[in-house]
Amino acid sequence: MRTTWDFTGARALVAGAGGIGAAVTSALAEAGANVLVLDVDEAKMDKVCQGADSVNGLTTDLTSADACRAAVDRSVQLLGGIDVFVHAVGVNDRRPVLETPDEVWERLRAVNLDSAFWLGRAVGAVMVPAGHGRIVFLSSVSGLLAHKDHAPYAATKGGVNQLMRVMAREWAASGVTVNAVAPGYTETDLTRAYLSEPGIRASLETLVPAGRLGRPEDLTGPVLFLASDQAAFVTGQVLYADGGRTLV
């Protein structure tokens, strides 16, 4: 497929080596960026790095502030700076509110929202003084819609949306844009087991006007647009890439 974006020489940091993160990493590399990937799962990271000279990985657990700061510091050393940051880390646990234990809430908050704040803050501390940068968070339609059995996930994605907006407001004058891409139902490792349950896939497809579920590659165009110079005047926005799911 012909590359329509030019990121030649750009230094990109991607948090999350699975699914959408892997697709975005490949797209950035194909467009000429030097990419460093962060993930706790070394096997996933090795897979996304395999065969790509411009992609390297750093194994790290992003559920503590210290680890996130250290990861960004190390990324700056390895890349020589950060021009683009994509946060594509996320986990889910589907169950009713009344059946959600404290540890599930705390785990999803740490992975989905805390890491977004800690990494975003650390990356912002690099980009703001430099006077340039593009930050893109992977959100979800769950940050807007009230899906049952999604309380912690929905709350964290809604939190990511507002976190992104405040960062965008504070850093706009410094030449740093901060936006989010919100996928609809997308076929990734995060959703594979759920989609394999009887009747789930067909039921979800009926909710999407496009008539199908999303694929990771459906998200690369929106992410790369927001990470490009063509989006220099776009900040604080949630771009829904959902096949029309939020229209119904």
DSSP codes, 52-116: -TTEEEEE---SSHHHHHHHHHHHHHHHSS-SEEEE---------GGG--HHHHHHHIIIIIIHH
Distances (CA, A) of 138 to 116, 126, 197, 222: 10, 20, 25, 11
Catalytic residue among 153, 185, 194, 240: 153
Give yes or no for a contact between 28 and 224, defined as CB atoms under 8 angstroms apart: yes
Alpha-carbon distance of 22 to 186, in angstroms, equals 14
Give the residue ranges of DSSP H helices in the chain: 19-30, 42-49, 65-79, 102-108, 115-130, 151-171, 192-195, 200-205, 220-227
**Token pair 């119904």: residue:** 248
Alpha-carbon distance of 228 to 236, in angstroms, equals 15
DSSP label at residue 211: S
The pair phi, psi for residue 24, each rounded to 5°, is -65, -40
Q: Is 194 a catalytic residue?
A: no
What are the residue numbers of the active site? 153
